[in-house]
Each structure stands twice: as C-alpha cells, then as structure tokens.
Amino acid sequence: MICSSCHHSLILSTPVRTKRQTSCHRRRFRLTVFFAAGNCYNDRSESDKSGCSSEFVQNILLRSLAGFLSLALVSSNYPPLAAESLPSPAEVCQEEVAAGDEVSSASATNDDLVEEAWEVVNESFIAGAGRRAWSPEKWLQEKEYIFQNNIKTRSRAHNVIQKMLASLGDPYTRFLSPAEFSKMAKYDVTGIGINLREVPDENGVAKIKVLGVILDGPAHSAGVKQGDELLSVNGLDIKGKSAFEVSSMLQGPKETFVTVEVRHGDCGLAHSIKIQRQNVARTPIFYRLEKMGEGNVPVGYVHIKEFNALARKDLITALKNLLDYGVSYLVLDLRDNLGGLVQAGIEVAKLFLGKGDTVIYTAGRDAEMQKAIIADTSPFFSRPIIVLVNNRTASASEIVASALHDNCKAVIVGERTYGKGLIQSVYELFDGSGLVVTIGKYVTTNHMDINGNGIEPDFSRFPALNDVSNYLSQCQMQRVGSVKV
C-alpha cells in the first residue's frame, strides 16, 4: 500500500446489509492503515441490544496482516478491488469463493447510514487521540441528539456524519465521500493488481492468500482469483515469508513478467501463472561512499526518500556494497522523509537491530493494537549509525529513527521530528462512503508517545565520529545496567 506521506491490507468481510432494527451492519471491508497524523472500544449501541453485538464486533475487529500505510494513499488507475469473501474452513476444496448472502442496501435508510458510522466510532475510536475528552457515555449522548429528527436525504446524512466526527476533536478521524473511498480501494502494492494476507491454517502455520483482486488488473486477467493461496514467486518457495516480503518479491520493472504458483481453493491443484507487471515502485534508496574525519574514515551515506515496497530490498543491496568498501560508520539520511509504508519502515529498522530488540509498541482499544513489534533475526548491519532528521521527518521515518536510537544502534542528528504517530483504520459504509478512524498510536521502545511530540535529536550539528562511538558505548552500558537491575 502506497502513500504520499506519513501500512496494507484490505480486509473483506461478507457483504451483508440489513436494517439496523433487525440485524447488525457489517463493514464490507476495512482497510487498516498506520497513519501518521497529518494532511495526507466499548458501550453497545441500540442495535447491539438486539443480540448481534458479537457478530458486529467480530467483523469490525478483523485483523489486517499484509502491509501498513501511513497518511494519504496514492490511487492506481485500476477499477476497485473485487469485493468477495475469503473461504471459511468449511469451504475446503472449493474452486470459487462464494459471495455472502447480500441484501440490497436500497432498504437501508439515511438514519441507518449515520448509525453505522456512529457504531464504527463507538467500537474502535481511541480515547485521548483527539483534542477533546471522549467517553462512551458522551458518545451515546451525541447519538441521542443526532436522532432527534429523521435524516431525509443522503447528502444530509453525510453532513451529519461529518459534524459528528468533528465533535471528536480529532482532525485525523474523518469522513470519505464515495469517490474518495473508491480511490483508497484501488490501492495496489504488488504491481500486479492484488493484495495479500497471511492466513493461519489449522496448525497455525501462515499461508499467503490473495485477499483482493483488482478487476481487469494484470493478475485478474491472467487468472488469479480472490482467495487463491500463493505457493511460489519466480520458482522461489514463499513458505515462512510474510505478506509484505512476498509483495516485495512480486515488484519489478514495468512490463516485465513475474511467474506465480497458486492454488485455487484449499486443496486444489497448483497452477503456474505468468503475469505482466504494470505498476512499479521506484527505488527510494540513494547511496555513496564518503571519507570523513582526520583519518579519512570510510563512511557509507544512504538517503531513504520514502518507505515503499522496494525500500528494504534495495537498502540491503546498498548496505552490501558499502560493507564491501569496508565502511566503519553509516549515515542514514531521513530528512524530508514523510513516511510511506509503515511496514516497510519496520522491516528496514529490523536490519539494524538484534534478535529480541523492540522496534515499536502500538497501543489502542483493540487487543490487536496492544503489542510490541520485535526484531526476530540478527542485525544485517552492526556498525555505528548517524541518523539525520529534520522537522519533516515523519511517521515510518520516526519509527526507524526511534528504534535505532532506543536500542543504542544510532545517534540522532538535526532537528526535532514532526511527530506523526496515530494508527488509523478505514471503514466502508453501506453506500460506498467511508470513515478514517483513529484506533491507536505508536509508542517508542523507551515508551515515548511519538504523536504530537516527535523525537528530540542527540546532536543539533554533525558530531565527530569519536563522539558518536562514545555516545553509543555509554548508551549500551546504561542499557545493560538497567537490564541487570
């Protein structure tokens, strides 16, 4: 999932629509993104009282597992993703993914639309994210006020939702018109028109499944189906790889070909499909060798312009070449890097961290948000690092900078960073409009809230290399000492 500044995956639930008096509304899909705030859960509603709260909560808290965005998505030129549901365990060996029993939204009222938006906030909005105090009790009062009169037109319903969200005092929780939501639904990180998701099998082993297919996109035209399991990319087995890693493997120059092996259904035959790429992510990596200090010490310089699907792969290439030149230090330039794919930033940070080091914490009402993201391999690059930042270093860049700094791998040089650190989800409403709702936030390894605060540099000017080494040595000794205590 690509963005312009500031993470992933489209989660499709069965497209069911009924009146709110008799059943719950279901989100047709939820696009979970890691937004950094910028331009770019738990009283029940009345409908919950009818006995459908567990179904609603189950659908609204669907996990997003592919890749995360931050800030505003950049749409492709493809039509929207096919809105089909993933097969359940009971649908073993089905070649086609059955669509849910869809009820026309024509019977739903404008009041239903507003209540659906109200429910999304009621179930997922994180208290304290906005400038005003929020509580389920106050939100229920807001609902009672809204429904004093019938909402007669669709445009009036949209206007009511906008005002309702404005009352939260959170500038990043907002309404999306159907046209705006459609642009988000067209997102493609693979370059071949699919979105991927990690789906555990009965033994808990993750499979990579096709979560969404862009209609008339390259993969769809070649025969890839929503719900297919990916087995290999260009002959390489993808077992054990994350959805983000597989998405990166699918990327390549425009109009070149990639061959994927897929399985239709849970136990169908494997099919080899050749697909011509149409979208391509440009490399965000620029690097060179420098000589610095009194002894002309070889230092590697790497500028990351944004975090896209190629960031990790191309950074590894750059680091390999710089290590071959015998660099003793690395200057990682994140100035003016407004973010990109948050998952790409996380994967980049892991290249410099030791196994078991914490990359970032996420916090929110959803249990899935209450977690620590941990590095699971040895560092690819272990030389001292100088991270350059300024007031336009944001989101994924702040995650990388804080992770390297808090784990004593890098010093930070420059200006205080922007301070973008909210986790948001995008929900579709039944009329094709949508909501962007703040559901969590980032917390650094040292338990500092990024959002609104930014990261304070260690040095305002470029330090001597000896000062960098001394600073990191002291940091590591203090870290070891705190662990012993």
Q: Does residue 395 have an active-site annotation?
A: yes
pLDDT tens digits for range 113-123: 999 999 999 98
Determine the CATH number of domain 285-433+441-484.
3.90.226.10
pLDDT tens digits for range 411-466: 999 999 999 888 888 888 988 899 989 888 899 999 999 988 999 999 999 999 99
Angle at 129 between CA 125 and CA 133, to 5 degrees: 90
- 194-276 classified as CATH 2.30.42.10: yes
Distances (CA, A) of 390 to 288, 337, 457: 21, 9, 9
Q: Is residue 393 within 8 Å of 334, Cβ to Cβ? A: yes
Q: Which entry of 76, 248, 395, 397 is annotated as an active-site residue? A: 395
Q: Specify the domain boundaries for CATH 3.30.750.44 within the chain.
A: 9-185
Level-2 CATH architecture, domain 9-185: 2-Layer Sandwich (3.30)
Nearest to 437 by CA among 55, 161, 198, 151: 161
pLDDT tens digits for range 250-262: 988 888 999 999 9
Q: Specify the domain boundaries for CATH 3.90.226.10 within the chain.
A: 285-433+441-484
The Cα–Cα gap between 174 and 166 comes to 8
Please report, in tens digits, the pLDDT of each residue of the chain (485 residues total): 333 333 333 322 222 222 333 233 444 444 444 443 333 323 323 333 333 333 332 332 232 322 333 332 222 333 333 333 333 433 444 444 333 333 345 567 999 999 999 999 998 898 766 667 888 899 999 999 999 988 999 999 999 999 999 999 888 899 999 888 876 655 567 888 887 888 887 777 889 998 777 777 899 899 998 889 999 999 999 998 888 889 889 988 888 999 999 998 776 789 999 999 886 668 899 999 999 988 899 999 999 999 987 899 999 999 999 999 999 999 999 999 998 888 889 999 999 999 999 999 998 887 777 889 999 999 999 999 999 999 999 989 999 999 999 999 999 999 999 998 888 888 889 888 999 898 888 999 999 999 889 999 999 999 999 999 999 999 999 888 765 54
Token reading at 403: 């992770």
First to last CA, the chain: 42
The Cα–Cα gap between 3 and 400 comes to 17
User: What are 434's strand-pairing partners?
Assistant: 176, 428
CB-based burial, 251-264: b 16+ in 10 Å, e otherwise = bbeeeeebebbbbb
Q: Does residue 420 have an active-site annotation?
A: yes
Q: Which entry of 420, 425, 433, 441 is annotated as an active-site residue? A: 420
